[in-house]
Amino acid sequence: MPTAHHHAGHSLFYRKTGTGNKVVLWFHGFGQQHLAFDKVQTPELSDCTHYSFDLFFHGNSHWAGSSSVEKKDLQELFQRFLEENKIDTFSVVAFSIGCRFGLSLAESFPDKLQKLVLLAPDGIQTRFWYWLATYPALSRKIFRYIITQPRFWHRLLSFLELTRLIDRKLLRFAQRQMDSQPKRQQVYNTWVNFRHLKSNTTTLSGLMKDHPFSLTLIAGLNDRLVPASLVAKLKGSLPLAQFHTFAAYHNDLIGISSGLIRNILNNQ
């Protein structure tokens, strides 16, 4: 099966479809696989060749060792991938936590990047709960304990619901995403190991001034996980970026915005 390899043993599975001259790299969100963008990759994108990846800790991809994923790791892996596939330029479409991969590629290969499309973008702003769970070493140990102890996890959810410290719809989303031990372990592996794959508005703005790639941010008005109001705060710091909103919940955003994504990729 087609896989991008790293010399340390890491591997990213991908599916290649299409034969067009424009290369697009696709990165899904948490709990999904490379099939997440199938409804977007229609014959209308006949000018594109698609490489749809499984993130680490998802699908057929593999992260070797116990260290976290670093930007340098992705740079080395994708440098080899681009050379092996003879790719000179490419665009990126990414959703939610997959945006951390897109942002890392933008920083590593800005001269090769044509378009960066981020849906429900994660990795530009630091969200309190994510920071609390993944950055302080003690917090990571507590987070791991919560993940591995179902009884404590359910008590925590009941406490959060009772005290209303978290939006109820967001809480329901968390319950669905973590209703089994494998899912909870996947959350831990993904959150903790992707924590260094992040960027900021200063870096992005500087890259866009020095390199001719376009940036589009897409948000769902009903999204509780990555609220549109949070994404809107980036406007002042990213004057060259395009912003779009849709009446969509988090997991509906890909399908509802598919027409816009195709238009962006088809435009020169």
- pLDDT tens digits, one per residue of 87-104: 999 999 999 999 999 999
The residues, any chain, with a CB within 8 Å of residue 31's CB and separated by 6 or more, are 58, 177, 183, 186
The yes-or-no verdict on residue 65 having pLDDT over 90 is: no
Q: State the sign of the Cα–Cα–Cα–Cα dihedral 122, 126, 128, 134.
A: positive
3-state secondary structure 28-75: CCCCCCHHHHCCCCCHHHCCEEEEEECCCCCCCCECCCCCCCCHHHHH
pLDDT tens, residue by residue, 223-234: 988 999 999 999
Share of the chain above pLDDT 90, in %: 69
183 band by pLDDT with thresholds 50, 70 and 90: confident
pLDDT tens digits for 237-258? 999 999 999 999 999 999 999 9
3-state secondary structure of 175: helix
Segment 195-203 mean pLDDT: 94
Angstrom CA distances, 75 to 23, 61, 103, 106, 110, stand at 18, 16, 11, 10, 12
| Mean pLDDT, rounded, for 9-25 | 97
Classify strands 3-5 and 11-17 as parallel, antiparallel or unpaired.
antiparallel
**Residue 165 has what pLDDT?**
63
Which pLDDT belongs to residue 78?
98
Kindly report the backbone phi and psi dihedral angles of residue 242, in degrees, each rounded to the nearest multiple of 5, phi listed first.
-105, 140
In angstroms, the CA 205 to CA 200 distance is: 9
pLDDT above 80 for 175: no
**Residue 218, beta-bridge partner list:** 119, 244
What is the arithmetic mean of pLDDT over 31-48?
97
Q: At what angle do helices 181-193 and 137-148 cross, to 10 degrees?
A: 170
pLDDT of residue 194: 92
Share of residues in the chain with pLDDT > 70 (%):
87
* Per-residue pLDDT band at 23 (split at 50, 70, 90): very high
Reported as a single tens digit per residue, the pLDDT across 121-169 is 999 987 655 555 566 676 677 777 777 777 776 777 677 667 766 666 6
Supply the DSSP symbol for 224.
S
H or E stretch at 230: helix 228-232
Alpha helices in 52-167 (DSSP H): 71-84, 99-108, 128-134, 137-148, 150-163
Residue-wise burial string across 164-182, b where 16 or more C-beta atoms lie within 10 A, e elsewhere: eebeeebeebbeebbeeee
Whether residue 52 has pLDDT greater than 80: yes
pTM score of the predicted model: 0.90
Predicted local confidence at residue 128, as pLDDT: 57
The per-residue pLDDT for range 71-85, each reduced to its tens digit, is: 999 999 999 999 999
User: What is d(CA 95, CA 36) in angstroms, rounded to the nearest whole number?
Assistant: 9
Burial letters for 137-157: b for 16+ Cβ neighbours within 10 Å, e otherwise? Answer: eeebeebeebbeeeeebeeeb
Hey, what domains does the chain have and what are their CATH numbers?
3-126+198-266 (3.40.50.1820), 128-193 (no CATH)
